[in-house]
Structure 1
Amino acid sequence: MVITNSVRCLPSPGISLQRNDSSVQLVLQPSEASPPIGDYILKSLNGNPCIKATMGAEYIITEQKKTWYFNLDPSRVRISGYCDKEAAVLSLTLPDDAAGLQFTFKKEKSLFYVSNLTAHVSPVPVYKTYSGLVDHDKLFMVQVGQSFSCKSESLLSTSSELKIKLVPLQIQAFTQPSDHYGQAVECWADFNKRIIPIILEATVVGLILITVLTFLFIKDRRRQGYDRI
């Protein structure tokens, strides 16, 4: 719950922020809830969008064999970063740096991807900062001018104690026409969800067709045998 100037705002499930006179305190939740979806746009010095991300972000903390959750509230996020020709950074932080999520983009020839993802969260009553990073993969790689899209969850392990779940996710960097995304390239998880039912349906139809043809073939052979007799 956010309390500011005696005005109370109820955030989405899974979000709990408490404000006192000196700081914003982040409270973890014992159960998981779908994170609210936010649009995050970073513009270059000339005012053109250079990074855009649409996503819900959930922090998953494991401490002493217990799992806790926190959803990033888009209405509380401060956006910062920079854009260069071959590198760009999108940083999302909550007030008092209670939680943060940073994407580092890299461009190689005609491709771009996230080369580094860092995250941290400082909840109460633990009074401990959980942090981690992913820097060994080329995440969300697509052609420059296109956007990476994934309706399925993207679960990233930044450390043994902290995981980040992004769901859904659409992201684009460097080249972007106005405020709209370029052509969306779907992730493998979405592709599999879409194509596997089609393959299964085709397999079932094929098996039925084989069964029918086999039955007709056997029936025809028997009829030919009767004709000879």
Structure 2
Amino acid sequence: MVQRAHKGGWSLFFLAAIIPGVHLQRNGSSIQPASEPEPPSEAQIYKPVLQPSEAIPPIGTYKLNGLDGKLCIKATMGVEYIVIEKKTWYFNLDPSRVRTSGYCGKKAAVLSLTLPNNAASLQFNFRKEKKLFYVTKLTVHVSPLPVCQGCANKTYFGLLDHEKLFATADGQSFNCKSENLLLTSSQLRIKLVPLQMQAFTLPKGQYGKEVECWADFNKRIIPIIIGAVVVTLVLIIGLTCLFIRDRSRQGYDRL
């Protein structure tokens, strides 16, 4: 009996040595594979963390193909969530974590950007009308970690509906380097900077002719106007001084 027990023990050690993942456990004479803990999935652990100060959001390019396999929506932008909770908090969308989804139709299209565990989302509803396309609806939410110890978990929602945002001619792209600040609710705002987008018609999958937003136009044209006004004023003042000096040299004519 003792000899058999020794042989059985040597067999167990032999199996443990040659089979990876098999460990001996003192539970009678049985061999049980060691259970390896499964790493937590990103969806189980991911939660946006609000920051007390702003930072430049990373820029991502998001694409969506239609059923025909052709690109129907393309958007390049940095996205910042601004949460009002006693004070102002900030969260930047990380393009590497974003899942892109939606659909494309002839007159309507949707681009949805979602973070793991549905921790945050941003959805654009596009509409095509005659020779224009625009965003008619924008839906957003974020479920961050509480901003303080003991604070309850909270989800912030925002909505803009029946709008004509970023209206552009079909086949062209809306382009804006200036900030686009969207007030979606009393506690949630969205900042898009910079922003370039195009929907429905993208020849060869590339952006069409860029249409400048009003903010960029004003930034570009106002300094030119101010410069022209300043030059004009300088010329007027200079000519006036020359005229007065010339008159003073002539003196008065005798009667």
Aligned to 1:48: 70
Q: Comparing 89-98 with 209-218, which one deviates more in the overlay? A: 209-218
Aligned to 1:15: none
List runs of 5+ in structure 2 lacking aligned partners.
1-37, 147-151
Distance in 2 between residues matched to 1:219 and 1:102, nearest whole Å: 68
Query: Aligned in 2, Cα 1:221/1:80: closer, same or farther, shift over 3 Å?
Result: same
Q: How many residues align?
A: 212
Per-residue CA shift, 1:145-164, capped at 9, x if unaligned?
Answer: 11111101100011111000
Distance in 2 between residues matched to 1:88 and 1:177, nearest whole Å: 17
Aligned to 1:128: 154
Q: CA deviation at 1:128?
A: 1.0
Aligned to 2:185: 159
Query: Aligned in 2, Cα 1:150/1:204: closer, same or farther, shift over 3 Å?
Result: same
Aligned to 2:109: 88
Per-residue CA shift, 1:72-112, capped at 9, x if unaligned?
Answer: 00000000001111100000000110000000000110011
User: What secondary structure, in the 3-state scheme, does the structure 1 residue paired with 2:204 have?
Assistant: coil
Q: CA deviation at 1:225?
A: 3.5
**Aligned partner of 1:171 among 189, 197, 204:** 197
Aligned to 2:59: 37
Alpha carbons 1:50, 1:174 under 8 Å: kept: yes
**Aligned partner of 1:60 among 65, 82, 89:** 82
Alpha carbons 2:80, 2:190 under 8 Å: kept: yes
Point out the structure with max Rg over C-alpha: 2
Q: CA deviation at 1:127?
A: 1.4
Residues 1-229 of structure 1 aligned to structure 2 (within 5 Å): 22-63=44-85, 65-125=86-146, 126-225=152-251, 228=253
Alpha carbons 1:56, 1:167 under 8 Å: kept: yes
TM-score for the superposition, normalised by structure 1: 0.87
Q: Which amino acid aligns with 1:218?
A: I
Higher helix share: 2
Distance in 1 between residues matched to 2:189 and 2:83, nearest whole Å: 7
Q: CA deviation at 1:21?
A: 8.0
Q: CA deviation at 1:218?
A: 1.6
Q: CA deviation at 1:48?
A: 1.2
TM-score for the superposition, normalised by structure 2: 0.79
Query: Aligned in 2, Cα 1:176/1:21: closer, same or farther, shift over 3 Å?
Result: closer
Q: Comparing 99-108 with 176-185, which one deviates more in the overlay? A: 176-185
Alpha carbons 1:83, 1:174 under 8 Å: kept: yes
Q: CA deviation at 1:47?
A: 1.6
Distance in 2 between residues matched to 1:212 and 1:130, nearest whole Å: 60
Q: Post-superposition, which runs of at least 4 consecutive aligned residues in structure 1 deviate over 6 A?
A: 18-21
Q: CA deviation at 1:19?
A: 6.8
Question: Pairwise CA RMSD of aligned residues?
Answer: 1.9
List runs of 5+ in structure 1 lacking aligned partners.
7-17
Q: Which amino acid aligns with 2:154?
A: K
Higher strand share: 1
Q: Which amino acid aligns with 1:70?
A: F
